[in-house]
Structure 1
Amino acid sequence: MTEAIEYDVVVVGAGPVGENVADRARAGGLSAAIVESELVGGECSYWACMPSKALLRPVIARADARRVPGLRQAVEGPLDTAAVLANRDGFTSHWKDDGQVGWIESIGVALHRGHGRLSGPRRVTVTADDGTVTTLTARHAVAVCTGTRAALPDLPGIADVKPWTSREATSSDHAPGRLVVVGGGVVATEMATAWQALGSQVTLLVRGDSLLNRMEPFAGELVADALREAGADVRTGTSVKAVERQGSTVTVTLGDGSTLEADEILFATGRAPRTDDIGLETVGLKPGSWLTVDDTLRVEGHDWLYAVGDANHRALLTHQGKYQARIAGDVIAARAAGVPLLETDRWGAHAATADTSAVPQVVFTDPEAASAGLTLAEAEEAGHRVRAVDYDMANVAGASLYADGYTGRARMIVDLDREVLLGVTFVGPGVGELIHSATIAIAGEVPIDRLWHAVPSYPTVSEVWLRLLETYRG
């Protein structure tokens, strides 16, 4: 049986990005439907942001406590792994989406469960688990918000090994005795940090010569040092040639021919767009591809199709996807109402400018690594005339109070022609809470002379701002 329903906007994917597109479209007076084949709330809620940070929070809290004289003795001993996992389960609502569904209903958005595929311009066909087919027609726009999935390498034996991806790493009900992590990015370093602290013996295999290679080099260096100090075996310049599982043991063959054994192996080797089976071919687009969009998030060559969040490959971060979603929802509503968009206004309400100039990110390792904007290498490659200003955060009074023997580093990238910041990186305990100030400075293009008058409170870790500016001014 086939049913046909018409809405102003149809959103494919009910993660935080899709939810925000639908919410903003509804706020703009449009009717909206959202299609989801898995749990409403998406990857972030159940297999990424929330469960990973729930696993990491006690790890970081204990590490911080151990750096405070008079407190470290009170937190000796192992973490209560069962309690940590139970808390994680609570933050994922035990992988039930009732609360998210209730929220969608409360904002007046229709939910269609099933696999959604484009079947022509402004048309989405939804096939439910029971075989029921519903055709949704969009008067104004269809938004693809399907996110990404883990990309596994093409290795002999990998299918039979049943490796962990980010989903298994964040939802496991036990700490494996021996865990091999392949990769050197955010997922790899965060999960290595979490499971090492929760009782696994972690071996981290990195093909390149450093960790976190999309951040300033010192970020990866400090995180690698801390992982080794915590007991993890961190090997750079190491490739995986093959994997094999016999019973409960995984044998990993390395590029040099040597082998190692583990109970589980996690591949954190990149992401791929979940656009391979959503009907892109019916509208002249390549299945499985990243979707190229303009700053209003509209897919090039299609005046009705939007790609928001990870699917457009602009910035694979939940908060950036939600930022895009707010813009896309407002854009769709404005175009539907015939309101002229201020497309020439780089920082206007209808342009996703921050995705190219002020992207913030926090890596919740110990120490934390946080950045916003460009690295030195990126700024130079873009042709800017810049100066990198570095400061040892151990010399900040607030940092020394925060943790005995505080180890960290800060860098800001100054555009010498405009005297504004292009990028900032902090590495050290607690620096995640500093990065929004950097994001404001970069997105707001606040002149250095004006930043001089933004006085940090004493004695806080944020006093590093004053020290960076003093170093710059000389």
Structure 2
Amino acid sequence: MTETESIAYDVVVLGAGPVGENVADRARAAGLSAAIVENELVGGECSYWACMPSKALLRPAIARADARRVPGLSGAVQGPLDAPAVLAHRDYYTSYWKDDGQVAWLDGIGADLHRGHGRLAGPRRVSVEGPDGELRFLTARHAVAVCTGTRALLPGLPGLAEVKPWTSREATSAHEVPDRLIVVGGGVVAVEMATAWQALGSRVTVLVRGHALLPRMEPFAGELVADALKEAGADVRTGTAVTGVTREGSTVVALTDTGDRIEADEILFATGRVPHTEDIGLDTVGLEPGSWLDVDDSLRVTGSEWLYAVGDVNHRALLTHQGKYQARIAGAAIAARAAGVPLLETDLWGAHAATADHAAAPQVVFTDPEAAAVGLSLAEAESAGLRVRAVDVDMSSVAGAGLYADGYRGKARMVVDINREIVVGLTLVGPGVGELIHSATVAVVGEVPVSRLWHAVPSYPTVSEVWLRLLEAYRDM
């Protein structure tokens, strides 16, 4: 291994996913020099193994389901999906797992890309081990930002490695449709991949250790998604833990604590994420390797003056859009501190505070039906000590919903802080609701009084008229 001299930058970023790219972009926009270090593909998990490929797989499934609920069209879309075409479209949206375009984007903003494994090597110092074995050092005048994200968590089952299970990466990049697929888990990755592969022709069995799907959302969200998966042909078993796995020839066998033996061609474990921090030199700056990184609202690591942790790695909100939001906040904070501008800790909704992580992080689950939520669930609001009232509306009561889909099924819940008379949370489940959640996000972030929301008139007849139904239900309680 050869060593080169150290190169100095204002900001050094570990990880060139969407979060790292945005930190580098904000640093460059502020006139700071920036280096970004990546040992895989520039664009990260979201571009190649998560957001983009998963939504490319799901879109045909959702479009077909929507079409089947439209009179006059339903009869034209009764056949199976063209799986090879769907997979080819997925490949297109991952740029065929090549990062030339994203590298060109980095060049365009003037950030230097260093290929290789980046590790902290003491305060404000990063070592990069290149693919050719060359070792170079980067120093940061103002900040190092850890944007290394997460990786799939696999359970410690004996023999699991020999089974070669799918994680989210294999589930979004597979090039053949398995005849039978076991999905272990009940969270977002589990239900989205169960939806996609069931629609593409797999016989899917979902095994959930807990008693509900989507346990972090309002209970009705998981219930409606589970019902739809069952109607589509999936076998959904809650209260079922996998106790062992083996591969017998080309067949995977899963054993459960309920005494079942389930056979499949592939098995996907979607059982959680862990921080990608086990080999990035955290010990050289007094931090525990493999740990989540605790940060303040400017995304600076607790106790440090120069180290930032942005995106999934800080465990605040494991969502790409929230990570990019954090990157904009971190970039602004780094630039302000570099210029000697004091940050006002009391400015909760200012340019240097990621307040939305606590109060208004939106999420869409792209199943059929879609589930979308922002802010606090009823249980979360009550646990936080807020005096709240929840109102529920059956989405079928909305005229626009009936036009959107014959026999529209869905539910909405609005959580109102009755002391301040503002909406602190909204959950929607139903076809197409993902496009409605931003209006709720604006209401929650803006702390718009319920009295003012009465004057935000939804267009008729659209599904967004659910807002009127929710406000009427709240008024009439």
TM-score by length of structure 2 reads 0.99
Match of 2:187 among 185, 188, 191: 185
Q: The residue matched to 2:451 in structure 1 has which SS?
A: helix
1:248-267 to 2 correspondences below 5 Å: 248-267=250-269
Q: How far, CA to CA, are the matches of 2:404 and 2:47 in structure 1? A: 31
Post-superposition offset of 1:257: 2.6
Q: The residue matched to 1:73 in structure 2 has which SS?
A: helix
> Residue by residue, what CA displacement relative to the aligned partner does 1:313-354 show, whole Å, maximum 9, x if unpaired?
000000000000001011101100111222210101100000
Aligned to 1:8: 10
Aligned to 2:90: 88
User: What is the identity, as a one-letter code, of the residue corresponding to 2:47?
Assistant: S
Match of 1:218 among 212, 217, 220: 220
Aligned to 1:29: 31
User: What is the identity, as a one-letter code, of the residue corresponding to 2:38?
Assistant: E
Aligned to 1:317: 319
1:122-161 to 2 correspondences below 5 Å: 122-161=124-163
Q: Would you say 1:326 and 2:328 are equivalent positions? A: yes
1:385-396 to 2 correspondences below 5 Å: 385-396=387-398
Match of 1:100 among 83, 99, 102: 102
> Residue by residue, what CA displacement relative to the aligned partner does 1:219-277 show, whole Å, maximum 9, x if unpaired?
00000000000000000000000000122101111012321101000000000000000
Post-superposition offset of 1:385: 0.6
Q: How far, CA to CA, are the matches of 1:81 and 1:416 in structure 2? A: 50
Q: How far, CA to CA, are the matches of 2:262 and 2:352 in structure 1? A: 52
Q: How many residues align?
A: 474
Aligned to 2:400: 398
Match of 2:19 among 9, 17, 24: 17
1:60-75 to 2 correspondences below 5 Å: 60-75=62-77
Q: How far, CA to CA, are the matches of 1:272 and 1:29 in structure 2? A: 34
Q: How far, CA to CA, are the matches of 1:357 and 1:327 in structure 2? A: 15
Q: The residue matched to 1:338 in structure 2 has which SS?
A: coil
Q: How far, CA to CA, are the matches of 1:443 and 1:295 in structure 2? A: 16
Q: The residue matched to 1:441 in structure 2 has which SS?
A: helix
Q: How far, CA to CA, are the matches of 1:332 and 1:420 in structure 2? A: 33
Q: How far, CA to CA, are the matches of 1:300 and 1:389 in structure 2? A: 39
> Residue by residue, what CA displacement relative to the aligned partner does 1:295-314 show, whole Å, maximum 9, x if unpaired?
00000111000000000000
> Residue by residue, what CA displacement relative to the aligned partner does 1:131-188 show, whole Å, maximum 9, x if unpaired?
0011000000000000000000111111110000000000000110000000000000
Aligned to 2:428: 426
Post-superposition offset of 1:78: 0.2
> Residue by residue, what CA displacement relative to the aligned partner does 1:14-58 show, whole Å, maximum 9, x if unpaired?
000000000001101100000000000000000000000000000
Q: Which runs of 4+ in 1 moved over 2 A?
A: none
User: What is the identity, as a one-letter code, of the residue corresponding to 2:384?
Assistant: A
Q: The residue matched to 2:7 in structure 1 has which SS?
A: strand
TM-score by length of structure 1 reads 1.00
Aligned to 2:365: 363
Q: How far, CA to CA, are the matches of 1:380 and 1:98 in structure 2? A: 48
Q: How far, CA to CA, are the matches of 2:142 and 2:474 in structure 1? A: 51
Post-superposition offset of 1:2: 1.6
Q: How far, CA to CA, are the matches of 1:385 and 1:330 in structure 2? A: 35
Q: The residue matched to 1:214 in structure 2 has which SS?
A: coil
Q: How far, CA to CA, are the matches of 1:256 and 1:186 in structure 2? A: 24
Aligned to 2:41: 39
Aligned to 1:458: 460
Aligned to 2:301: 299
Post-superposition offset of 1:191: 0.2
Post-superposition offset of 1:360: 0.2
Q: The residue matched to 2:175 in structure 1 has which SS?
A: coil
Q: The residue matched to 1:125 in structure 2 has which SS?
A: strand
Aligned to 1:120: 122
Q: How far, CA to CA, are the matches of 1:449 and 1:104 in structure 2? A: 46
Q: The residue matched to 1:152 in structure 2 has which SS?
A: coil
> Residue by residue, what CA displacement relative to the aligned partner does 1:382-415 show, whole Å, maximum 9, x if unpaired?
0001001000000100000000000000000000
User: What is the identity, as a one-letter code, of the residue corresponding to 2:185?
Assistant: G
Q: Would you say 1:198 and 2:200 are equivalent positions? A: yes
Post-superposition offset of 1:129: 1.1
Q: Would you say 1:411 and 2:385 are equivalent positions? A: no
Q: The residue matched to 2:75 in structure 1 has which SS?
A: helix
Aligned to 1:236: 238
Aligned to 2:279: 277
Q: How far, CA to CA, are the matches of 1:257 and 1:372 in structure 2? A: 39
> Residue by residue, what CA displacement relative to the aligned partner does 1:173-213 show, whole Å, maximum 9, x if unpaired?
01100000000000000000000000100000001110000
Q: How far, CA to CA, are the matches of 1:16 and 1:204 in structure 2? A: 30
Q: The residue matched to 1:105 in structure 2 has which SS?
A: helix
Q: The residue matched to 1:124 in structure 2 has which SS?
A: strand
Q: The residue matched to 1:149 in structure 2 has which SS?
A: strand
Q: The residue matched to 2:436 in structure 1 has which SS?
A: helix
341-350 or 446-455: bigger deviation: 341-350
Q: How far, CA to CA, are the matches of 1:342 and 1:56 in structure 2? A: 43
Q: How far, CA to CA, are the matches of 1:361 and 1:456 in structure 2? A: 22
Q: How far, CA to CA, are the matches of 1:108 and 1:241 in structure 2? A: 51
User: What is the identity, as a one-letter code, of the residue corresponding to 2:3?
Assistant: T
Aligned to 1:472: 474
User: What is the identity, as a one-letter code, of the residue corresponding to 1:285?
Assistant: L
User: What is the identity, as a one-letter code, of the residue corresponding to 1:123?
Assistant: R
User: What is the identity, as a one-letter code, of the residue corresponding to 2:39?
Assistant: S
User: What is the identity, as a one-letter code, of the residue corresponding to 2:68?
Assistant: R
Q: The residue matched to 2:457 in structure 1 has which SS?
A: coil
Q: How far, CA to CA, are the matches of 1:308 and 1:122 in structure 2? A: 16
Q: How far, CA to CA, are the matches of 1:257 and 1:466 in structure 2? A: 49
